[in-house]
């Protein structure tokens, strides 16, 4: 992975670039599109992804996880989240995966996000565009509850070095996915999961206290409520308070 890196000084969104170049058959599995400035960066749930030019890591990686059946799809999210968390392990502690795949510092807020977009054919997923945005050297943010590696460590970081480590992490984790080591992947994901087995407040239309018990086979979040009821949520069905 990452043998073929396309560097763009600016683009709308590296995910859009990857999807377009894939359509034109210009890129193959392992290709990376990296940019210094996204003018229309996209986040999950139709949000925008803002990132100061030249400061951060914003790229997309093309994978071909056609060995996964639809119900195994969430394991791809898990290995990518793990690869990102592992990039930060040697830095300040307490960087966690907030389900499904936000990367955050427990008290200081979000440091990275992942947007995975799949190209489906008759047999299932053919390609996945893995878009990753990480706040590295940016220090001023327009929105609250956001942080960067610079803010957490007090120094600048070399983005290309981090990118290389991250791609190696993804490659290693991707091998475990190919070998279908699902039990281990899930256990590792839960070990880094924000609020796993902690009582906390959530909102599913009503505010309630609950604790995360796990992830079901479809990637839904299992939260146990105070009254003992087990609830399962998709992406838009629950918010963390
Ligand atoms: C999120 O947390 O909502 C996901 C953010 C994903 C941002 C990355 S930056 C590179 C790639 N290109 C995009 O337009 N989005 C992803």
Residues with Cβ within 8 Å of 59's Cβ and at least 6 positions away in sequence, in order, are 14, 32, 33, 34, 35, 131, 132, 163
Residue with the smallest CA separation from ligand 1 atom 2 is: 113
Distance of CA 238 from the midpoint of ligand 1 (Å):
21
Interface pTM, i.e. ipTM? 0.99
CA 29-31-37 angle, to 5 degrees, is 145
Q: Which atom, in ligand 1's list, is nearest to the CA of 110?
A: 2
- Tokens 């440091």 found at: 111
Comma-separated ranges of CATH 2.30.30.100 domains in the chain: 199-240
Residue with the smallest CA separation from ligand 1 atom 7 is: 133
Distance of CA 25 from the midpoint of ligand 1 (Å):
22
Comma-separated ranges of CATH 3.30.930.10 domains in the chain: 5-191
List C-alpha distances in Å: 134 to 56, 73, 99, 114: 6, 23, 17, 9
CATH for the 5-191 domain, from 3.40.50.620, 3.40.50.720, 3.30.930.10, 3.40.50.1100: 3.30.930.10
The confidence score (pLDDT) of residue 32 equals: 98
The confidence score (pLDDT) of residue 71 equals: 86
The confidence score (pLDDT) of residue 54 equals: 96
Question: What one-character-per-residue DSSP string does 66-107 give?
Answer: TTS-GGGTHHHHHHHHHHHHHHHTTSSS-EEEETTTEEEETT
Q: Which CATH class is domain 199-240?
A: mainly beta
pLDDT in tens, the chain (241 residues): 988 999 999 999 999 999 999 999 999 999 999 999 999 999 998 899 999 999 999 999 999 999 999 889 999 999 999 999 999 998 877 899 999 999 999 888 999 999 999 999 888 889 999 999 999 999 999 999 999 999 999 999 999 999 999 999 999 999 999 999 999 999 999 999 999 999 999 999 999 999 999 999 889 999 999 999 999 999 889 999 9
The confidence score (pLDDT) of residue 55 equals: 97
Distance of CA 12 from the midpoint of ligand 1 (Å):
11
Distance of CA 212 from the midpoint of ligand 1 (Å):
25
Q: Using a 6 Å CB cutoff, which residues line ligand 1?
A: 13-15, 38, 41-44, 47, 49, 58-60, 102, 113-115, 131-133
């Amino acid at each position: 992975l990452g043998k073929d890196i396309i560097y763009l000084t600016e683009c709308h969104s590296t995910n859009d670039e990857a999807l377009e170049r894939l359509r034109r058959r210009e890129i193959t599995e392992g290709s990376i599109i990296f940019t210094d400035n996204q003018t229309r960066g996209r986040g999950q749930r139709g949000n925008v992804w803002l990132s100061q030019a030249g400061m951060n890591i914003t790229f997309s990686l093309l994978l071909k996880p056609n060995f996964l059946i639809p119900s195994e799809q969430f394991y791809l999210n898990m290995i990518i989240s793990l690869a990102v968390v592992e990039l930060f392990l040697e830095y300040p502690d307490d960087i966690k995966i907030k389900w499904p795949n936000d990367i955050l510092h427990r008290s200081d807020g979000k440091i990275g996000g992942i947007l995975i977009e799949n190209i489906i054919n008759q047999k299932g997923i053919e390609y996945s565009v893995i878009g990753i945005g990480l706040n590295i050297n940016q220090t001023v943010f327009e929105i609250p509850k956001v942080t960067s590696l610079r803010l957490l460590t007090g120094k600048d970081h070399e983005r290309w070095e981090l990118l290389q480590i991250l791609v190696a992490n993804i490659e290693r984790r991707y091998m475990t996915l190919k070998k279908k080591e699902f039990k281990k992947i899930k256990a590792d994901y839960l070990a880094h999961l924000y609020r796993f087995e902690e009582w906390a407040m959530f909102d599913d239309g009503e505010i309630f206290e609950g604790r995360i018990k796990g992830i079901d086979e479809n990637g839904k979040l299992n939260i146990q409520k105070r009254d003992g009821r087990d609830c399962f949520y998709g992406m838009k069905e629950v918010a963390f308070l």
